[in-house]
Amino acid sequence: MYPTDRRYSKDHEWAKMENKNAIIGITYYAQKELGDIVYIDLPQIGKEVKKGEVIAVVESVKSASDIYSPLSGKIIKINEVLKEKPELLNEDPYNNGWIAILEVLNPDEYNELLSSDEYRSLIGES
């Protein structure tokens, strides 16, 4: 449920490094807590975000929830497929349900994120 090839934030997002960029998404736990996701507000390409700032808003039938960026950087790509298929966030949160790619500003921030084991212990699944 929590792959070891990436790191996790306390707000239930993940980041996976690819060269100097990071792919960002939400965790299995997050999508389960949110319920059926039916809509996503994606960020603009080129937008600069700080760690902990709102990067996207996902909506379930019942409510809207903010998704926070686990890292600081510039958004260079967004997953346009989610506009038509927001359910990918539930069905495949680690692959096809990725949200955005960031050009990472400060690589140290990545190391400060939680490992898979630490994250599992945070959500009580260790």
Partner 1 sequence: MAKRLFLEEEHKKLNPRFIEFSGWIMPLEYKGIIIEHLHVRQKAGIFDISHMGRIRIRGKNSSIFLQKLTSNDIQKLYKGKAQYSLILSPQGTILDDVILYMIDENDFLLVVNAGNREKILSWLHINLINNVEIEDQTESTVLIALQGPISESILNSIVKDNLSSLKYYHFLETEIFKEKVYISRTGYTGEDGFEIFISNKKAIELWNYLINKQDIIPCGLGARDTLRLEMGYPLYGNELDENTTPWEANLSWVVKLDKSSDFIGRNALIELKEKKKKYLIAFETLEGIPRKDFKIFHNNEEIGWVTSGTFSPSLKKGIGLCYLIKKDLDNLELEIRGKRVKIKVTDLPFIKNTSLRKGGK
Report how far residue 20's alpha carbon sits from residue 38's, in angstroms, rounded to the nearest whole number: 31
**53 near partner 1 (CB under 8 A):** no
∠ CA 21-5-72, nearest 5°, is: 35
Contact residue for partner 1 among 20, 36, 53, 107 (CB under 8 A): 36
> At its nearest, how many Å lie between partner 1 and the CB of residue 42?
12
Structure tokens at 76: 């260079």
Q: Which is nearer to partner 1, 5 or 84 (CB)?
A: 84
- Options 17-25, 33-41, 68-76, 101-109: segment touching partner 1 (CB under 8 A): 33-41
Map residues 63-102 to x or -, x wherever contact with partner 1 holds by CB under 8 A. xx--------------------------------------
Q: Which is nearer to partner 1, 23 or 37 (CB)?
A: 37
Report how far residue 53's alpha carbon sits from residue 75's, in angstroms, rounded to the nearest whole number: 13
Report how far residue 103's alpha carbon sits from residue 115's, in angstroms, rounded to the nearest whole number: 21
Structure tokens at 53: 């700032």
**41 near partner 1 (CB under 8 A):** yes
Rg (CA), the chain: 13
Amino acid identity of residue 41, one-letter, is: D
Point out which residues bind partner 1 (CB under 8 A). 35-36, 38-39, 41, 57, 59-64
